[in-house]
Chains A and B, each alone.
Chain A
Amino acid sequence: MIPFWALVRKDLKLFFNDRRAVIVGLVVPILLASFFGYLFGGQGTREISRMQLLAIDQDSSAISKGVIAQLAGDPHLEVKASTPEEARELVRKGKAVAAVVIPRDFGNAAGHALFGGGEKPEIGILYDPSHAIEMAMVQGILTGAVMQAVSKEMFSRPTGRDIVRESRAQIEKDSTMPEAQRKSLSDMLSSVQKWNEMQAQAPTGGAGRSESSEGGLSIPFQTHSEAITANTGEQYNSYAHAFGGMGIQFILFMGLDVGVRLLLLRQTGLWQRLRAAPLSRSVLLGSRATSAALISAFILFVLFSFARWVFGVRIQGSFVGFLGVCAAFSLMTAAFGLMIAAFGKTVEATRGYAVMATLLMVMLGGSWVPAQFFPPWLQTATKVVPTRWAMDGLDGMTWRGLGLSAAYGPIAILLLFTLVFGALAVMSFRWEAES
């Protein structure tokens, strides 16, 4: 074992000897992880930024004004009045997420469409396609706002009374509608008309006119949101994911460097010297894998220590599971590095291919953007990528607060990848020195 540990010690010395590389290798992932962590919500205490929404009111009716007032009251939106030309320009420049265009006669048409089956008016939406996810939210808020504004007008305001009266007269003249249906609809509108007239005669703020009765239709439920993290009431700390992701990325780059260095070593007299010594191939490759795994573990230790002290990231799940995932990922990285050395032809070409493969693994593993943002098919497809398991394992043991049993899957899969990569490396490694 003396040669084995001498080889490991030498690799560690070479790594720590290059202090600039060590600092850059640790500082850069910390900076990136801090940035990504902040971007995805930070420690959960940051105020949510409101979406810029432009409103173009071409109707200026009570209903259209009501819609805009409802939108303006939503805590997720920052609504500003605009014109069609200005709105189009601002959305194109990315200064606003979307613009809502309420056309002329919208209020009247919407009122008739609510009861009488009249033609539905169209609200135009101009949106920034890079904010497609936010658009779904805007449409939901807009639907609620329109329903509330239109129904409020129908049940309690003069415009509504006129529209209900007109709608009732139209229905009674409609000979195409079956008698029973026509009578039921007419009775309902008659009741609405009476309710509206009662609202008009009631004194403002009087007993007969309560806040709720004036409100028209409203969404008949409220939601209570709770972030399910390790502990009840605890906010999601996105730094946990960001530091795990950046750790994975930079450790993979370290693994890539191990492979490239091994390729370079084969072109030097040092490789001849190593091969001239009475050392087995398993000692030569195993020591390299061990030192790479130890360096990986060191990088993860530094990153998570920093995240712990600066951003309050804690291992809220099983600590043993966390160590297991880190160790399994470190071994997988070491085997990945050896595989690069085994399959690489020239250093230049190998570096190019390996960087591409590493970036793909990092991206598909969810290190940059959490995998839950991926479309469902991609979430399934990325299960063949080892980094996805490492990321799931680290997330599970940190902010999700899962137990040891949740780490078994990721650890097993990562060790399986280690075996496959390692076996391919040993089988394909070219032992003869290159001149």
Chain B
Amino acid sequence: MLDVKSLKKSYGKVVAVDGVSLRAGAGETIGLLGPNGAGKTTTVSMIAGLFPPDSGEVLIDGSPLRGDTDPVKRKIGLVPQNVALYDELPAIDNLTFLGALYDLRGAPLKRAIADALDLVGLADRAKDKVGTFSGGMKRRINLAAALLHDPQILLLDEPTVGVDPQSRNAIFDNLETLKKHGKTLVYTTHYMEEAERLCDRIVIIDHGKVIANDTLHGLHRMLPVTNVLAIELDKPDGFKSDALRALPEVESAELREGKLRVGLHDLTTGAPVVLRWMADNGYTYQHLTSERPDLETVFLTLTGRSLRDS
């Protein structure tokens, strides 16, 4: 169990992390979502014990993380944002070295390396130098390196930056396997689709502060609309959206470039009412879709700014 309580960290006058709290249990995946510079990496670094917070504490199974040599650190595996391996050395030498940092040697170390390589699908490249690997393979071996000492908690700092979709899917598969094995994952990203796919809970951080901490469903509930009907009208000219907006089931209605977007609180009750109103008023349409708002919309709603542009 990971319990992060009110972490604060400042660099001079700049407050990087301002009272971040979160909890994660076994088999749970927490997504830290936020733009670049939001404080995600600083938060993960403090959880990993790279440096102490100015205030607040990190509890691992109820034990606080204290000092460089605290054995509690063995329960944590860190996957840094940059590929943290020696390009000049073969993969197996890198893993042997990194495993030894956790006092592993002999048969247990060999077994741990074999398991980690199997998981990421690189067992056949063990003797090749990391420098010869593709970007996606480097990311996978970077993940394997954090698993050697069988940590309960895995901290993943944007582990898919710069990889192709195929490698990204391979990494997601690896993470889902780890999740099934009961590992606690803390996953930082600024890709909404990654957080939506992997995470049980999502913590949105902006300017060092937690601005939301909920399940994906819970975050959607924070929005003024839960669904949007997108309708391509046959004859958009002269359409009066005010009358549609007056319906009690409709939260918003906006016509832009021939497409009508109608915000609803409840799709089940709202959609038939809207479609009946269209038919009653003689509006025909070519295409109709239902959209759920994504995390981008959530972030926009909570901060007033776009996630990617922040």
Contacts and interface: CB of A to CB of B under 8 A. Distances in A.
Contacts of B81: 269
A270 B85 contact: yes
Nearest to B142: A269
Given A275-B49, A432-B51, A280 B88 contact: no
A128 B104 CA distance: 70
A404 to B, nearest CB: 38
B226 interface: no
Contact of A276 (B78, B82, B83): B78
Contacts of B104: 2
Contacts of B142: 269
A272 B42 CA distance: 12
A357 B49 CA distance: 36
A129 to B, nearest CB: 52
Interface stretch (A11-19, A187-195, A296-304): A11-19
Given A273-B80, A433-B45, A13 B68 contact: no
Interface in B96-137: 96-98, 100-105
Contacts of A9: 97
A395 B255 CA distance: 91
Nearest to B88: A17
B80 A279 contact: no
Residue of B41, B50, B51, B103 with most chain A CB atoms under a 10 A cut-off: B50
Contact of A17 (B68, B80, B89, B102): B89
Task: Decide if the interface of chain A is mainly helix, strand, loop or mixed.
Answer: helix
Contact of A279 (B86, B89, B97, B101): B101
A139 to B, nearest CB: 61
Contacts of B50: 272, 275-276, 432-433
Contacts of A277: 73, 101-102
A276 B73 CA distance: 7
Contacts of B70: 278
Given A270-B84, A272-B50, A273-B84, A278 B102 contact: yes
Given A3-B101, A277-B101, A280-B69, 17 more contacts: A2-B103, A3-B103, A6-B101, A7-B97, A10-B93, A13-B93, A17-B89, A270-B80, A272-B80, A273-B145, A275-B51, A276-B48, A276-B50, A278-B68, A278-B69, A278-B71, A279-B101
Contacts of A281: 68
A435 B45 CA distance: 12
Contacts of A269: 80-84, 142
A35 interface: no
Contacts of A5: 100
A274 interface: yes
B195 to A, nearest CB: 22
Nearest to B80: A269
A108 B165 CA distance: 104
A306 interface: no
A7 B142 CA distance: 18
A210 interface: no
A279 B51 contact: no
A278 B51 contact: no
A374 interface: no
Interface in A1-35: 2-3, 5-7, 9-10, 13-14, 17-18
Interface residues of B, number: 36
B164 to A, nearest CB: 20
A13 B88 CA distance: 9
A281 B85 CA distance: 20
B135 to A, nearest CB: 14
A268 interface: yes
B74 A278 contact: yes
A269 B138 CA distance: 13
Nearest to B145: A273
Contacts of A353: none
B86 A10 contact: yes
A277 B71 CA distance: 9
Contacts of B100: 2-3, 5-6
A269 B85 CA distance: 8
B268 to A, nearest CB: 48
Contact of B86 (A270, A272, A276, A433): A270
Nearest to B155: A276
B76 interface: yes
A279 B68 contact: yes
A276 B70 CA distance: 10
A431 interface: yes
Contacts of B103: 2-3
Residue of A10, A279, A431, A432 with most chain B CB atoms under a 10 A cut-off: A10
Contacts of A278: 68-71, 73-74, 102
Contacts of A2: 100, 103-105
B97 to A, nearest CB: 5
Contacts of A435: 41
A7 B86 CA distance: 13
A274 B146 CA distance: 11
Contacts of A3: 100-103
A18 B131 CA distance: 13
A177 B102 CA distance: 102
Residue of B49, B98, B101, B146 with most chain A CB atoms under a 10 A cut-off: B101
A278 B75 CA distance: 10
A280 B49 CA distance: 12
Interface in B186-211: none
A5 B104 CA distance: 12
A47 B148 CA distance: 67
Residue of A14, A17, A277, A431 with most chain B CB atoms under a 10 A cut-off: A277
Contacts of A432: 50-51
A414 B73 CA distance: 38
Nearest to A1: B103
